[in-house]
A and B are shown apart, each in its own frame.
Chain A
Amino acid sequence: MKSALLLTGLLTMQSVMAAAPPKVSNGLDPAVVQSVTLKNGMTVIVWPKHDIPNVALYNFVKVGSRNESPGITGLAHFFEHMMFNGTAKREPGEFDRIMEGQGASNNAYTSDDVTVYQDWFPKATLSTIIELEADRLQNLAFVPKVVESERQVVYSERRLRTEDDNQGKLMEQVQATAFVAHPYGNPTIGWPSDIQSWRIEDLQQFFKMYYAPNNCTMVIVGDVQPQEVFALAREHLEPIPAQTPPLPIRTKEPEQLGERRVTVHAEAQTPLLQFAYHSLAAADPEMPALELMMRILAQGDSSRLHRALVEQDKVAIAVDNFWQEGFDPGLSWFFLTLPADGDVAKAEAAFTREIAKVAESGVTVAELAKAKSLVIADFWRGLATINGKAQQLGSYAVFHGDQRKLFDAPATYEKVTSEQIKALAAKILTINNRTVGVLVPVMGEAGEGP
């Protein structure tokens, strides 16, 4: 994330994932969404929407921590910061000064798979914004002094999210333990020693390879006409030369043959438990079943795990889960926060028992119907803003190969059956396929162990 300051209308990953079947079609006409592929391979998608006089531009660059190797972990995220820091035409800081001076704001985020640049602006500034985007894609500068300063900013972000936050601290260890081969084991923020030692040459190579127009999908939603956007794209973006496409990620994570465990000792009052299961890629046809299963298990106070572990057994004070769309099979996560004197073994046993029930008995008709209803309603909530529309369109374009699949999503969720979820649980939610993380509180002697 470029800046936590500006986190206003962002959706969580869970709700981003919540694209699902509309039963009604008010205000949603797939035909209004238009797209072009520029001669350099860049895709531009436009959804005109005139409720407010503003526009959201999301540029999905297909690069994330999965494209990193030892020595350059965190580099994709570092780029998310560097892309605001000057070009051959513009001084560092000028990008933000111009944008903000014309009423626009911006941010960005990085995942394992993509880096997404977001601009929110009044419609009259459309051409300025597209020119600014084209400039940084084509002419990014690497000023040593700026690189050093931004390195420290990123380290501060790491301290905030990982070193001083126990959930983040444990999650990094679990993720690294879950993968023995695939780069999904890289922390997106980067290992400390890598943050401290990236070189300018690393940045230059990374930029040339991944920030090519043929590796970008730009989505523009709001008070615009598609033809004016396409004309501006042809003027400013099309001249950027295409590059040789990045090499595909060839490594596939081998099947996990037994449970892995990792323990973290940290200054804390509260023990934490995390479970990460090797799961599915975004485009897997079973993905809608996975999403419904995850909702049934741990989304909201009426979910199975909340009722069993928080309300009945009282072994945890909170249960959450998380999954995200990726090109390759990623992790399905569960997070348990325990009371300060909580019994970790008891909580783990209760969790394991509840998870096993899904593979044994599936889910009830009522649970499945509820999960589908929540998905439908979240679909509408997700599309209520120009931001939500841009995020959804971009995700479908990038991870599912076609933004129009957003509008086909309804049928895919409606078709999911209880039997399908039962089979999926038997395949994924097994002990052999999981990594368990335990954070053990250590008061006054952090890092020394019990």
Chain B
Amino acid sequence: MSAVQAGESPVVGVRVPAFERVVLGNGATLLLMERHDIPLVGFQAILRGGALGDAAGKWGTASLLAGLLEKGAGKRDAYAFADASAAVGGTLGADAGLEALTVSGEFLARDQALMIELLADLLQRPNLDAAEFEKLRERQIEFIRAAKDGDLSAILPTYGAAALFKDHPYGRPVSGSETSLAKLTHADATGYYRDQVGADRLIISMTGDFKSADMKKRLTEAFGGWAKAKTAAPVVLPPAKVAGRHVLLVDAPGAAQTYFLMSNVGVNRKYPGRAPLDVVNTLFGGRFTSMLNSELRIKSGLTYGARSQLVRPTQPGQWQISTYTRTDATVQAADLALETFGKFKQGGGIDAAALDSGKTYVLGQFPTALETSPQWARQLAELEFYGLERSYVDGYGPALAAVTMADVTRVSAEVYPAADDLVIVFIGDAAKIRDGIKKYGPLTEMKLTDPAFSRL
């Protein structure tokens, strides 16, 4: 019988390779890292704002604008623009997130001049065509309806964020809701572009097979003359933790399983206890043998998967447990999730051997997150966006190695809520589960087909 042993500390972590940081006169920041292993160049461009820049009730504006940016720019209409990158095997896409609008792409190194031309056109000279906007808006509404007919575990977090954060900006549906999208106009998108997009909001992180001096020259020429955004970047205040229990039931008639999450406000990106928290969350619900997955899947067969996750934006984001189980086992699974969480909160579940295992696991997997050029482009852009030092990467391995049981106790108490303070969302067949879940707290109910993600 083999004992469970930690490895011989095989990993020392990862260090950020050399890169160059350049701030242009208009505030645009360039991050350049050469990597010559394969003949590709990839980038991530981040514009501060994202859904935080949406006007009240106009959720989805930044998201539609991101789609619209791809629909023609400079001398190219929508088709010519899509063809230009595809013709050379390149990828180029824009997407809105909660706090930023992101454009990312990857091209063969020989096509880097074209890549910069397309990126500069997309950001500085988009067509913002009204007919294209209308097509995107209508399609976005239909995508939400189609998503409700698909994997319900994918749409659960949107309901979860709305229920947890309510009218705090982190509760917004980034892609909009059927209600908000119905009201959006072309002027909302062009207004967002006019006010919220500009050089002082821009970070371009580029990695791959190029020469930094040459790339700096090209990017300076392409972006040095761009104006600043008309308004200052949105500032978001910390959301308040939720006290007490709040239960939302989203009725999905005929669903074979119930999909549920339990959440509260967690930590932000700069949380100083990151290393111990990553270890603790890994052990509680972040890997296959975690406490949650062991109880809900391995020991009981109630689900295909159960986990605990933390979203860490500029201000504290959500911490959540999420899983799913067959409809008739809903209460059994929710009870077990709560019981497991309660046990964890009381300090039962992580001993010295588990801590050792968790540290080794997080350390061992860390290098695979920073293997490719696009991964490094994203990492550099995030360091700049959140104002983090390179020690966020370089110091992570040593910080993991130094985690103690006292750290575990501290972050468990500091980050995870009391079991009585939870926002719980169930998506399932209400007629079959309503009575059983009333015991978890005051119940609010809505339908999956309702055109918004909350009752607000």
Which residues of A line the B interface, CB within 8 A?
Answer: 3-6, 8-9, 24, 26-27, 51-54, 89-94, 96-98, 100-106, 120-125, 128, 148-157, 159-161, 163-167, 266-270, 300-302, 307, 310-311, 314, 317-318, 337, 339-340, 366, 369-370, 373-378, 380-381, 383-386, 441, 443-444, 446-447
In the complex, what distance in Å separates the CA atom of A335 from the CA atom of B78? Answer: 24
Contact (Cβ within 8 A) A370 B10: no
Question: Are B82 and A125 in touch, CB under 8 angstroms?
Answer: no
* A148→B301 contact, CB < 8 A: yes
Whether A340 lies near B142 (C-beta < 8 A) is: yes
Contacts of A104 in B (CB 8 A): 361, 364
Q: Once the chains bind, are A384 and B82 in contact (CB under 8 Å)?
A: no
CA distance A413 to B83 in the complex (A): 20
User: In whole Å, how far is B396's beta carbon from the nearest beta carbon of chain A?
Assistant: 14
Please state if B87 and A369 are interface contacts (CB–CB under 8 Å): yes
Tell me which residues across on chain B come within 8 A of A317, comparing CB atoms: 139, 142-143, 146
Specify which of A120, A301, A337 is in contact with B82 (CB 8 Å cutoff): A301
Given the known inter-chain contacts A97-B4, A268-B149, A380-B39, please indicate yes or no for A385 contacting B371, CB distance below 8 A. Answer: yes
Q: Which of B299-325 contact A (CB under 8 A)?
A: 299-305, 307, 324-325
Q: A27 to B253, Cβ gap below 8 A?
A: no
Contact A5 to B287, CB < 8 A, known contacts A101-B356, A302-B83: yes
Cα A88 to Cα B244 with chains together (Å): 48
Query: Which of B150-158, B344-352, B409-417 makes up part of the contact surface?
Result: B150-158
Tell me the chain B residues, 377-431 only, with Cβ under 8 Å from chain A.
none
In the complex, the answer to whether B38 meets A383 with C-beta atoms within 8 Å is: yes
Nearest-CB distance from A428 to chain B (Å)?
A: 24
Given contacts A98-B2, A103-B7, A122-B10, 7 further A-B contacts (CB under 8 A): A3-B304, A97-B289, A100-B289, A122-B364, A153-B301, A267-B252, A339-B138
Asked whether any CB of chain A lies closer than 8 Å to the CB of B229, the reply is: no
CB of B36 within 8 A of CB of A26, answer yes
Chain B positions near chain A (C-beta within 8 angstroms): 1-2, 4-8, 10-11, 14, 36-40, 70, 78-79, 82-83, 86-91, 106-108, 135, 138-139, 142-143, 145-146, 148-153, 209, 252-257, 287-289, 293-294, 297-305, 307, 324-326, 356-357, 360-361, 363-365, 367-368, 370-373, 449
Given known contacts A103-B10, A122-B11, A374-B89, A269 and B148 CB-to-CB distance under 8 angstroms: yes
Nearest B residue to A375 via CB reads B89
The answer to whether B10 touches A120 (Cβ under 8 A) is no
Chain A residues with CB under 8 Å of B287's CB are 5-6, 100, 105
**Which residue of chain A lies nearest to B88 when distances are taken between CB atoms in the complex?**
A373
B145→A270 contact, CB < 8 A: yes
Contact of A27 among B1, B37, B254 (CB under 8 A): B37
Instruction: Tell which of B1, B148, B303, B367 touches A90, judged by Cβ atoms closer than 8 Å.
Output: B1
Q: Kindly list chain A residues whose C-beta atoms are within 8 Å of the C-beta of B356.
A: 101
* Separation of A100 and B290 alpha carbons in the complex (Å): 10
Q: Which residue of A has the minimal Cβ distance to B108? A: A377
Shortest CB distance B37–A (Å): 5
Instruction: Report whether A24 and B39 are in contact in the complex, using a CB–CB cutoff of 8 Å.
Output: yes
**Interface pair A164/B257, CB less than 8 Å apart:** yes
The answer to whether A164 and B10 touch across the interface, beta carbons within 8 angstroms, is no
Instruction: Flag if B89 contacts A376 (CB, 8 Å).
Output: yes
Q: Which chain A residue shows the least CB distance to B143?
A: A317
Question: Complex: how many Å from CA A337 to CA B301?
Answer: 33
Chain A residues contacting B367 (CB-CB under 8 Å) are 52-54, 122
Chain B contacts for A152, CB-based, 8 A: 301-302
A-B contact pairs, 8 of them (CB 8 A): A3-B305, A53-B367, A102-B5, A128-B7, A149-B299, A310-B139, A377-B40, A384-B373
Chain B residue at minimum C-beta to C-beta distance from A385: B371
| Residues on the A chain within 8 Å of B78, using CB | 311
Check A101–B368 contact: CB distance below 8 A: no
Please, how many angstroms separate the alpha-carbon atoms of A92 and B365 in the complex?
23
Which of A103, A300, A375 makes the CB contact (< 8 A) with B360?
A: A103
Q: Which residue of B lies closest to A342 (CB)?
A: B142
In the complex the two chains form, what is the Cα distance from A100 to B354 in whole Å?
10
Contact B325 A27 (CB under 8 A): no
Tell whether A376 pairs with B368 under 8 Å between CB atoms, given A96-B288, A100-B289. Answer: no
User: Distance (Å) between the CB of A313 and the closest chain B CB?
Assistant: 12
> Assuming A5-B305, A94-B2, is B11 touching A103 (CB within 8 A)?
yes
Quick one: which of B2, B10, B304 contacts A125, CB cutoff 8 A? B10
6 closest cross-chain pairs (CB), A and B: A103-B364, A377-B89, A124-B10, A152-B301, A373-B89, A149-B301
Complexed CA–CA distance, A386 and B142 (Å): 38
Q: Which residue of A lies closest to B298 (CB)?
A: A93
Q: How far is the CA of A342 from the CA of B449 in the complex (A)?
A: 17
Residues B40 and A381 in contact, CB atoms below 8 Å apart = yes
Are A103 and B302 in contact, CB atoms less than 8 angstroms apart? no
Contacts A24-B39, A51-B37, A93-B289; A156 near B7 (Cβ below 8 A): no
B71 CB to nearest A CB, Å: 9
How far, in whole Å, are A375 and B89 apart by their CA atoms in the complex?
7
A323 to B368, CA, bound (A): 28
Q: Is A54's CB under 8 angstroms from B368's CB?
A: yes
Beta-carbon contact of B304 and A156 below 8 Å = yes
* Chain A residues with CB below 8 A from B11, complex form: 53, 103, 122
User: Whole-angstrom distance between the alpha carbons of A148 and B302 in the complex?
Assistant: 11
Contacting residue for B449 out of A101, A269, A369, CB 8 A: A269
Kindly state the separation between the CA atoms of A140 and B60 in the bound complex, as whole angstroms.
51
Contact A160 B151 (CB under 8 A): yes
Measured CA separation A102–B357 after assembly (Å): 7
Nearest chain B residue, comparing its CB with the CB of A386: B371
In the complex, A128→B4 CA distance in Å? 12
